[in-house]
């Protein structure tokens, strides 16, 4: 790589800092937006259960218990899972980008030592080992266990005549539930990989 002119370095470092600030702002926005989908999932599933039981929820109440509304629990969960995972994957890319800026700053400053930002710091390993698994449990509870419980509740408490339509519904629920589980698992693995890859190597002197 050609040696930078001394007069260019402050300008490029200033640009690097601007990129860092912009990326951090985007990261915070994406995290808030991602978590909003999880909240929406919990509210929607609670509304389905309330309507199925004839309980008023958020000012809305069915004229009578409507357990058939629970047929939407798993399909709706898949849609919200996909939106959640989409934001999570964008976050993974942004984390890797922010982490790469530490090494770039050391290169521009011609420094033998890398100043790690949070996303490239050794502490990220604690996040991988201790925090990501807990977050996965929360995701599985919200996007998998609750909708599955709603579907089981519907079939257990409502007399159903097994016919082609009901059989197709059960098969579709299973397929959509597995698809949601696959999205969450691949997102978890990508987030782990992004956290591991974001560790910036120390720049050796000389």
User: Is the pLDDT at 22 greater than 70, yes or no?
Assistant: yes
CB atoms within 10 A of CB 64: 6
Share of the chain above pLDDT 90, in %: 38
Higher pLDDT: 109 or 153? It is 153
Q: Give the chain's length.
A: 206
Higher pLDDT: 63 or 86? It is 86
pTM as predicted: 0.81
User: Is the pLDDT at 9 greater than 50, yes or no?
Assistant: yes
The average confidence (pLDDT) of the chain is 83
User: Is the pLDDT at 206 greater than 70, yes or no?
Assistant: no
> What pLDDT digit, counting tens, does each position of 73-129 carry?
999 999 999 999 999 999 988 888 888 888 887 777 777 777 777 777 777 777 888
User: Is the pLDDT at 5 greater than 70, yes or no?
Assistant: no
Cα–Cα distance for residue pair 110/103, rounded to 1 Å = 10
Residue 140: the pLDDT is 96
Beta-carbon-side half-sphere exposure of residue 53 (alpha carbons within 13 Å): 11
Cα–Cα distance for residue pair 192/200, rounded to 1 Å = 15
Beta-carbon-side half-sphere exposure of residue 173 (alpha carbons within 13 Å): 21
17-31, 61-75, 178-192: range with lowest mean pLDDT:
61-75
92-106, 127-141, 143-157, 192-206: range with lowest mean pLDDT:
192-206
């Amino acid at each position: 790589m050609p040696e930078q002119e001394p007069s260019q370095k402050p300008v490029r470092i200033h640009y690097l800092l601007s990129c860092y600030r912009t990326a951090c702002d985007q990261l915070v926005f994406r995290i808030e937006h991602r978590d909003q989908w999880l909240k929406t999932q919990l509210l929607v599933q609670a509304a389905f259960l309330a309507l199925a039981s004839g309980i008023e929820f958020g000012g809305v109440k069915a004229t009578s218990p409507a357990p058939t509304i629970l047929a939407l629990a798993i399909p709706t969960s898949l849609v919200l899972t996909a939106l959640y995972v989409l934001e999570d994957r964008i976050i993974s890319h942004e984390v890797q980008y922010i982490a790469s800026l530490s090494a770039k700053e050391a290169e521009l400053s011609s420094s033998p030592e890398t100043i790690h930002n949070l996303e490239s710091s050794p502490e990220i390993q604690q996040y991988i080992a201790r925090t990501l698994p807990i977050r996965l449990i929360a995701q599985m509870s919200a996007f998998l266990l609750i909708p599955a419980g709603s579907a089981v509740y519907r079939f257990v408490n409502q007399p159903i005549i097994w016919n082609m339509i009901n059989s197709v519904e059960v098969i579709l629920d299973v397929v959509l539930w597995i698809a949601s589980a696959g999205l969450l698992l691949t997102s978890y693995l990508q987030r782990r990989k992004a956290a591991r890859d974001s560790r910036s190597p120390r720049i050796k002197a000389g």
